[in-house]
Amino acid sequence: MTINSIGFIGLGIMGRPMAKNLIKAGYKLIVYDKFAKTDDFVSLGAEIAKSNKEVAEKSDIIITMLPNSPHVKEAVLGGQGVIEGIKKGTVLADMSSIAPAASQEIYAALKEKGALMIDAPVSGGEPKAIDATLAIMVGGDKEAFEIANPILAKMGSSVTYVGEIGSGNVTKLANQIIVALNIAAVSEAFVLATKAGVNPESVFNAIKGGLAGSTVMNAKVPMILDGNFKPGFRIELHIKDLQNALDTAHELNVPIQLTASVMEILQALKVDGMGANDHSAIVRYYEKLAKKEVRK
């Protein structure tokens, strides 16, 4: 299938650099965002649509990158939505992180129109969105995946097909559980070490090459040591993901007690006005209790 034009809906922290990477790769883009400015996309040669429907009418493949399930459902199934303009055989690649059940609902509606869909959430945050090294996990029909794969590869360093529709978001929920718990474990350990009088930077250098080492530790500990909680991935977004994980787990009768505990830590930070901070600010919850900051 020849892709002449790509529709991109959602130009936030993640969507904006992802869309720009597609333009850099030579694709013609038709973009729409209800709230974000689009002047920079005009200068890059993209066409600015006036609705989600118009994006669908003019695109061979449509990408959505929106905050949560209600936003994707509105953009696709709502008035002037994608479903009103999508053509038979067109692929919708929803790269948002949403509830698997919502992906399945949208998929069923699009299937009645003869359209295809994949759920393709990403991991890596803003830095990896900017440098096109996101990890992309994909669920949906294999046919749709094969069509979208070359485009997804322009936004990520790994693109992995994991199964039927919804599987991508199940995989993302697993990812978000592991990341949240990892940051919490790192936070507990480094607050303990610092309160005990051991230099936290020395602790980091000593353990990062061993079994406790991880991508999360390597990315987040330097931020913590610098007191830099500028968001790559905001606490309020991680709350959204863990809520989807908890809801999905409850539907499936799967206990996820550790996830529930970290969710309460994130909620406490949000109440303290830190919802827009990077999720590495989980350490501040422990710092407050221990009355000790982990810094260089």
Tell how strand 122-123 and strand 134-140 pair up: antiparallel
Cβ distance 135 to 121 under 8 Å? no
Q: Which amino acid is at 183?
A: I
Is there a catalytic annotation at residue 113? no
Among residues 53, 128, 172, 220, the one annotated as catalytic is: 172
**Among candidate residues 286, 241, 234, 288, the one with its CA nearest the CA of residue 125:** 234
Q: Which amino acid does the sequence have at 244? A: N
Helical (H) or strand (E) element with 216? helix 215-226
| Helical spans, DSSP H, in the chain | 15-24, 39-43, 52-58, 69-77, 82-85, 100-112, 125-130, 142-152, 167-195, 200-207, 215-226, 235-252, 257-271, 282-290
Active site residues: 172
